[in-house]
Structure 1
Amino acid sequence: MTSVRPALLVPTATYRLQLQPGFPFAAAARAVPYLASLGVSHLHLSPVLEAVPGSAHGYDVVDHARVRDELGGEQGLRALSRTAREHGLGLVADLVPNHMALSARHNHALWEVLREGPESPYARWFDIDWEAGGGQVLLPVLGGPLGAEAGRLTVDGDVLRYCDQVFPLREGTGGLPLTALLDAQWYRPVWWRLARTELNYRRFFSISELIGVRVEDPEVFEATHAKILALLREGVLDGLRVDHPDGLADPDGYLRRLHEATGGRWTVVEKILADGERLPAAWPVAGTTGYDALRHVDGLFTDPAGAGELVGRYRRFAAPQTDRGGAWAATVRRAAYRVLGHELAAEMDRLTRVAHRVCAGAPDPVLRDRAPWALRTALRELLVRLGVYRPYASTDAAEVVTEEAAEEAKAAYAVPEEAGAVDVVRDLLLGRHGELPGVAELRARFAQTASALRAKSVEDTAFYRYVPLLAATEVGGNPGAPGVSPADFHAYCARVQRDWPTTGTVVSTHDTKRSADVRAALAVLTECPGRWADVLAEVVRDGEGGPDAQLAWVAWQTVFGLGPAAPERVREALLKHVREAGLYTSWTEPEPPYEEAVAAFVGTGPCGPPGARVAAFRAALEPYIRANVLGTALVHLTMPGVPDVYQGTEGEYRALVDPDNRGVAMFPPPEPGAKNALTAAALRLRARRPDAFGENASYAPLPAEGPAAAHCLAFIRSGQVITAVTRLSLRLEEAGGWSGTHLPLPPGHWVDLLDPERRFTGHARVADLFESLPVALLERSAEPQPNGVIGAP
């Protein structure tokens, strides 16, 4: 495969910092000496541009021309860059091209659009369907229907006030009565619930507070990227992480333009690849942010057979209907239908309008006389059958919008002639009717809707409904088949080294639903599903079954993975879980009695006296959890790609979904342990031997030999570095241990960097290799070291 890649300042490893008012640039600068000593080459910063005041994440950008004041402004960023460079570090920043905050008082560009309407120079910035809104932008900002909220709308000079929100008034309208005044504006403030069906601007997923930006327009691209590009040119920044390119109208074109504008700086994209999907080869990027790596690393430490048994135990315990959380494919399909008809109803309406305009104005009679409902049905049925996030202009859409899916979709129609709408829509998406007016927009909006659907139906719904193994419900994961064999892992790594050797890799991020250490603990349950079911049966017999059996399963797995924790952390995570699942309550239609029962259950069950039974069970499994934790860390840090270490995860780090995992980082960690030492050893090795891990490095499996060979996963990088880890350690012990298993080492003498007094040569006994730790990191020694050598020549 041939692809264009940035050639400048490629990191050896990055360290992600979550900047926020409580952890600004100055705090990051104070952490630089420690982070430099850890062995990373670059700091990976969350968004640095001006955001909504108080934002804890920075993805709600309001001004692309300014570095965020609450973080220390541009002066603070430049000072951080200087400090980093003094310690040999560079900076990589998170870039948010898809959306801005819908905060009129802070977003100057949006303010001008609301004041001047479609004639504003800034109107081209935002993806607004003015015609659908009757010439007004719908703003879902009111707490209730207009009639109930009218008294809270007041005119103050040339602005309209509502609670703490401020909106500009169209010139000459300030003296009108309220109803006439509202009718005269370029916007219409409405009850927030109307956003579901009436919204007429593109947003981020179903988050109405984030309005889509049209970076496909060259002028908009230049205006929204000028500051970041200047910081790159001046050497303040060295690389970029692109947030959510799947939301853009033309990701291919955007990434080409970005590559040219940056001069080929190292850039990775937040692209979620479905199982078996490949990153478009034409994209001029270093690769992804690494969720595909996360899935493969997690899968290594998951027992496929045990995972299957766990599904059966889950079904018997929770007894869910197969389409409400008992079967993965059915759960995803049901969630997709719900999302399109509920959260993304406005997006479906806009997509249908575009399709109907194309057909109504087409010269080919085959496209005419297609009812909007028939086109909407065709679009819906094709969307729910996509197996990936979205199609791209640079890939064959027929591989995504398949003929098989089209044939299945026709079953939604009672009249065969009306089912022809499916072929019409598919042919338009595949370009079989040529470039008719509106077809390019249809393709773009279909793809954008597809990405929002995938995120909302899979990650934000199905992952919360299908819960046999919580560790598998992670971004980019495949809960229907969570295990990854060593052979498949090696094949994946070989492809990465060949095709995308400087891609990003991660195991914990600001977006992971559970940190890597929590998932590593949960993976042990696939090695003992029967014992887990017995533990749950005991606590349920004690009367702690919770509001419903599915929630109980989730709650007990949560405290098993997390270990001892404050009840409020568990409570907030579980409340988010049940709202996302949308089975008994939701964010928009909450059921207070159910949520109160969930909160009460946390205190009396998982975080109450019965929780001691699960805590004891976890304590008994601690050696196997430790093997997974250390194995996950070492594989991640030494496999092909550029590892990104999330703040705090160099040490033991147990966190749940945001905001639990987005707190202020502490440097250095208060209690360094084996994982800290392992992380530092691997990162310092990467810094010292970049040739062994970089673009021109090599990767090869190193198979063990003997009865327990399947439990030793090993590989060699560039003939110089060997990683060896224990997998499925509980199963290993039950089978009798290593029992004469050996790891044939390449010629030479090998030093264990995790214990430099230990050296190996020849056929190393795996029992010796893992005598003190369940992992080993070996480096070829320049000179023979006769003392302490283990193995036979």
Structure 2
Amino acid sequence: MRRVPQSTYRLQLHKDFTFEDASAVADYLHRLGVSHVYSSPYLQAAPGSMHGYNVVDPGRVNEELGGEAGHKRFCERLHEAGLGQILDIVPNHMATRRQNRYWWDVLENGPSSRYATWFDIDWNMPEVRLHNKILIPVLGDQYGRVLSQNQIRIEHEAERFRARYMDNFYPIAPRSLALPLTKAAQYAENATLSFIADSLSRLPVPDAYDTEMVMSRHRDKTVIFELLHRLCNEQPSVIAAIDRAVAELNEDHDALDAFLDLQYYRLAYWRTADQDLGYRRFFDVNTLIGLRVERPHVFRATHDLVLQWLDQGVLDGVRVDHPDGLRDPKQYFERLRENAPDAWIVAEKILEPEEDLREDWPIEGTTGYDFLNFCNRLLVHEEGLSEITKTYAAFTQESVDFDDIVHEKKMNVEHELLGSDVNRLANLFVGICEGNRDRRDYTRAEIRRALREVAACFSVYRTYVVPGKDQAGNKDQNLIDQAIEEAKANRPDLDPALFDFMGDVLAWRSRGELEGEFLLRFQQFTSPVMAKGVEDTALYCFNPMIGLNEVGSAPESGGLSLEAFHDHFAKVQTSHPYTLNTLATHDTKRSDDVRARLAVLTENPGLWKSSLRKWSRANAQFKTGIYPDRNTEYFLYQTLIGTWPISAERLTAYMEKATREAKQQTSWTSQNKEFEDALRYFIEQILRSQEFLEDLEGFVSSMQTPGRINSLSQTLLKLTAPGIPDTYQGGEIWDLHLVDPDNRGVVDYDARRTMLSSLEQGTSPEEILRNFDSGLPKLWVIYKALHLRREHPEWFGADAEYSPLYARGNRKDHLVAYLRAGKVAALAPRWSLRLGEWQGTSVELPEGNWKNIFTGDSVKGGSTRVGALLERFPVALLIHETE
């Protein structure tokens, strides 16, 4: 039987919030009504990791969090508090840090490493200089210049050797040590050392698939180094001779260059990563290398500890990070399900509008970005958004065609950040064309251009065609055909037959070994194209209403009708009733309360338009030349509205990140100091301008109450709609944080405990509303709804029918309402700034007596005035009382 949570609470663990700190909030979370702690990844990560996604050892618990002992106490404390646990796991990649002994072994031994099959590395790059080598793009300048400045050195301690650049260390290939050790043997006149050097030079070089030879080589290597260790301990003269040989090597740049060329890696200028990297990464992060988790032995080795915890009941489920990076996500989920049949499994799958989660994946659902975006659009007023978009276009002179912007940004990241990935795909497709006489004359340049165009035209993160099946499914077939047709229309300069042939390969109509490999790798590629082009670029450039710019969003699609909202969640109840519903995550661009406040802009677009013009005129004096540009200025004002009050420090750090992500005036890899200095100065000055601040505070004051009502509405929907509600740490009261690292700050749990105690002791809705500024109303909604779910899980489960309730009257479109299991009625307003009075608007409740758990009021079924239901508290949660 599946161990499905009733609710989750996300905790971000790191060195400043350890297992001990998390244990300390267990009682509070149980009192709040939470059923499961939802932990960020806590397998051993790189030192200092603030998120846990850069795992270096999947077989150990992170020592910085408290290690195995701390983890045991944490799990025991959760159990004592009556809490289950969900863990975020990372199957797609590992960190390339020296603490990663598997990666270190690969760098040392190349294709002969015991772990070479773990990582997604192309050992046969077309460039001879990269054959059987891993590019390490870390140097601050051209390799030769760095070498001549003595910044790369060989170090050793007895028998242990390594290369060093700045604070980066790399192992030395055993066979290459024959050179310095032979010279050292001559200096020491030591036959044993000479024997060791000869033995290292004769180590075989099998590839990773010759398992028996690889293990034999490893055994011999271990014995040789043990012998060297003993020799160094017994004869200090040997160490002195090795010191001398290594010192001479470091002083001779030609010799050092030749020695480094014998390694299984190539130290290179950091910019080379854009075009020459030979391994699959997590997006464009060079320090996160892709895993071949589709291989059974890799799956077992990287999942053994987590599967043990699931089997033992330490964990009830897992959240799977970035499944779209996997070679075959369905296969992965089937294998995970086979090993953990009772686990609750959700996937960080980003669904685009009109895209559904694959029904043949044996999982409970997504991590909730789809829910977030439906709520986001529900609160936006369509007509007001249209006016705001016109204001944006007039003020900034920027394009308001989001699709065009997305295509442009995707193409840009493919040219720059993801150039290495394009080149590897192009090499594969060249091979395919070479094997087909009708296609062999397509040039590599043409293929690269076609590849980029097709990838940029995909409307979703990826397709899921698996070579070996008869054909692509209808969903994938349609997506591929659509992308191919768009690509042909965009690039009339390229032979349309090339696009058609590429489409045949992607749809598995043209088959073969190379075709299958290309198809699988292309599907892994379109996900980072979407993530980097849209999430991390376009959503910082297209800014009419920035609250709509979220992961998986389509900000150009506008508002959402009540009918569309209800149709969607009726479908969710049927297909994935235990999916995760969230309003904020560690990756969201803005917290739920920031978005809720920004949505109010669409209810009064005229005020926004006039204020924007007034602020721009008043603050023009603080610009430095043309900086900041109008798009950045527009973005800044909306950010201030959504987050006010915000410190200059937080705002400046966020704006630096946002503008670098946008890549319009500056970027992470090519920083425009003039622009960034001007932006910092502009922020400093407007935050010192009393005139501007008074006007801003007046503007925000007018939006604060409707923004908070929006927050209560979407919170109630999260807690009662089909799915499992999740609360991001600290988000149980008003939370005005921005994208990480802003949303990873310290949470004041002492204040939250005090607030919760006041609710537990009993208080009236009027008293709660008098404490509006503290966030008490939001805490009240969460507390009451979570306890209701705990007491009556059957009212929110797979069999709990979802039935829309439609209001009647002049304000009918302002009410979002539905029934669950015929026992619970949730009622939430939207567009409250435009609402005025409910003006006779009513809703039909099923017959019987109903009690509002937020106010204690009772009401009889039948036609009921909405104004009466929402008179004492902004949202209502009614339960059917038994006779």
- State the alpha-carbon separation in 1 of the partners of residues 493 and 369 from structure 2: 43
Q: Which of 502, 510, 529 lines up with 1:425 in the alignment?
A: 502
Secondary structure of 2:25's partner? helix
Question: Which residue in 1 is equivalent to 2:869?
Answer: 769
How far is the alpha carbon of 1:621 from its aligned partner? Answer: 2.2
- State the alpha-carbon separation in 2 of the partners of residues 413 and 453 from structure 1: 19
Question: Which residue in 2 is equivalent to 1:207?
Answer: 285
Question: Which residue in 2 is equivalent to 1:60?
Answer: 54
Determine if contact 1:14/1:643 at 8 Å carries over to the other structure.
yes
How far is the alpha carbon of 1:480 from its aligned partner? Answer: 0.5
> Is 1:8 the equivalent of 2:2?
yes
> Is 1:135 the equivalent of 2:132?
yes
How far is the alpha carbon of 1:404 from its aligned partner? Answer: 4.2
Q: Which of 154, 158, 174 lines up with 1:171 in the alignment?
A: 174
Q: How many residues align?
A: 765
- Structure 1 pair 512/641, CA: closer, same or farther in 2 (3 Å)? same
How far is the alpha carbon of 1:378 from its aligned partner? Answer: 2.1
Secondary structure of 2:633's partner? helix
> Is 1:698 the equivalent of 2:805?
no
Q: Which amino acid aligns with 2:573?
A: Q
Secondary structure of 1:762's partner? strand
- State the alpha-carbon separation in 1 of the partners of residues 144 and 687 from structure 2: 45
- Structure 1 pair 700/411, CA: closer, same or farther in 2 (3 Å)? closer
Higher helix share: 2
Secondary structure of 2:260's partner? helix
- State the alpha-carbon separation in 2 of the partners of residues 153 and 102 from structure 1: 19
Give TM-score, length-normalised by structure 1: 0.94
Secondary structure of 1:62's partner? strand
How far is the alpha carbon of 1:691 from its aligned partner? Answer: 0.3
Moved over 6 A (4+): none
Question: Which residue in 1 is equivalent to 2:101?
Answer: 108
Of 521-530 and 619-628, more deviation after overlay is shown by 619-628
Question: Which residue in 2 is equivalent to 1:330?
Answer: 404
Q: How does 1:141-156 map to 2 (within 5 A)?
A: 141-150=138-147, 151-156=150-155
Of 665-674 and 223-232, more deviation after overlay is shown by 665-674
Determine if contact 1:16/1:46 at 8 Å carries over to the other structure.
yes
How far is the alpha carbon of 1:409 from its aligned partner? Answer: 2.2
Q: How does 1:418-457 map to 2 (within 5 A)?
A: 418-434=495-511, 436-457=512-533
What is the CA deviation profile of residues 452-485 of structure 1, one whole-angstrom value per residue up to 9, with x for unaligned ones? 1000111111101100011110011111013111
> Is 1:679 the equivalent of 2:782?
yes
- Structure 1 pair 266/313, CA: closer, same or farther in 2 (3 Å)? same
- Structure 1 pair 491/607, CA: closer, same or farther in 2 (3 Å)? farther
> Is 1:191 the equivalent of 2:269?
yes
Q: How does 1:242-253 map to 2 (within 5 A)?
A: 242-253=320-331
Question: Which residue in 1 is equivalent to 2:701?
Answer: 619
How far is the alpha carbon of 1:739 from its aligned partner? Answer: 0.7
Question: Which residue in 1 is equivalent to 2:208?
Answer: none
Q: Which amino acid aligns with 1:660?
A: D
- State the alpha-carbon separation in 1 of the partners of residues 112 and 82 from structure 2: 49
Determine if contact 2:477/2:507 at 8 Å carries over to the other structure.
no
Determine if contact 1:651/1:669 at 8 Å carries over to the other structure.
no
How far is the alpha carbon of 1:402 from its aligned partner? Answer: 3.8
Question: Which residue in 2 is equivalent to 1:564?
Answer: 645
- State the alpha-carbon separation in 1 of the partners of residues 165 and 324 from structure 2: 34
Q: Which amino acid aligns with 2:841?
A: T
> Is 1:407 the equivalent of 2:489?
no
> Is 1:725 the equivalent of 2:722?
no
Q: How does 1:591-670 map to 2 (within 5 A)?
A: 591-605=672-686, 608-609=689-690, 610-670=692-752
> Is 1:754 the equivalent of 2:751?
no
Secondary structure of 2:847's partner? coil
Q: How does 1:227-626 map to 2 (within 5 A)?
A: 227-320=305-398, 322=399, 326-362=400-436, 365-393=437-465, 395-396=473-474, 398-411=476-489, 418-434=495-511, 436-544=512-620, 547-605=628-686, 608-609=689-690, 610-626=692-708
- Structure 1 pair 154/775, CA: closer, same or farther in 2 (3 Å)? same
- Structure 1 pair 415/291, CA: closer, same or farther in 2 (3 Å)? closer
Determine if contact 1:738/1:766 at 8 Å carries over to the other structure.
yes
Cα RMSD of the aligned pairs, angstroms, is 1.6
- State the alpha-carbon separation in 1 of the partners of residues 395 and 14 from structure 2: 42
Give TM-score, length-normalised by structure 2: 0.85
Secondary structure of 2:332's partner? helix
Higher relative contact order (CA 8 A, sep 6+): 1
- State the alpha-carbon separation in 2 of the partners of residues 625 and 413 from structure 1: 45
- Structure 1 pair 606/701, CA: closer, same or farther in 2 (3 Å)? farther
Determine if contact 1:287/1:503 at 8 Å carries over to the other structure.
yes
Where structure 1 has 5 or more consecutive residues not aligned to the other structure, the ranges are: 1-6, 784-793
- State the alpha-carbon separation in 1 of the partners of residues 476 and 303 from structure 2: 33
Question: Which residue in 2 is equivalent to 1:29?
Answer: 23
- State the alpha-carbon separation in 1 of the partners of residues 91 and 114 from structure 2: 19
What is the CA deviation profile of residues 39-83 of structure 1, one whole-angstrom value per residue up to 9, with x for unaligned ones? 111100000100011110000000011011111112222221111
- State the alpha-carbon separation in 1 of the partners of residues 505 and 333 from structure 2: 25
- State the alpha-carbon separation in 1 of the partners of residues 316 and 482 from structure 2: 45
Determine if contact 1:377/1:412 at 8 Å carries over to the other structure.
no
What is the CA deviation profile of residues 88-136 of structure 1, one whole-angstrom value per residue up to 9, with x for unaligned ones? 2101000000111111x21100000000111111000111111112221
Of 563-572 and 169-178, more deviation after overlay is shown by 169-178
- State the alpha-carbon separation in 1 of the partners of residues 707 and 414 from structure 2: 40
How far is the alpha carbon of 1:379 from its aligned partner? Answer: 1.6
- State the alpha-carbon separation in 2 of the partners of residues 480 and 410 from structure 1: 24
Q: How does 1:708-747 map to 2 (within 5 A)?
A: 708-733=811-836, 737-747=837-847
How far is the alpha carbon of 1:608 from its aligned partner? Answer: 4.4
- State the alpha-carbon separation in 2 of the partners of residues 400 and 461 from structure 1: 27
> Is 1:69 the equivalent of 2:63?
yes
- Structure 1 pair 165/760, CA: closer, same or farther in 2 (3 Å)? farther
Of 118-127 and 611-620, more deviation after overlay is shown by 611-620
Where structure 2 has 5 or more consecutive residues not aligned to the other structure, the ranges are: 181-248, 250-254, 467-472, 753-773
- State the alpha-carbon separation in 2 of the partners of residues 413 and 617 from structure 1: 47
Determine if contact 1:113/1:123 at 8 Å carries over to the other structure.
yes
- State the alpha-carbon separation in 1 of the partners of residues 7 and 637 from structure 2: 35
Q: Which of 83, 103, 108 lines up with 1:89 in the alignment?
A: 83
What is the CA deviation profile of residues 386-443 of structure 1, one whole-angstrom value per residue up to 9, with x for unaligned ones? 1100000374465454434323323465667x33111111111111123x12122111
What is the CA deviation profile of residues 546-603 of structure 1, one whole-angstrom value per residue up to 9, with x for unaligned ones? 6111111111100100010111111111111110111111000111110111111111
How far is the alpha carbon of 1:757 from its aligned partner? Answer: 4.2
Q: Which amino acid aligns with 1:586?
A: S
Q: Which amino acid aligns with 1:73?
A: G
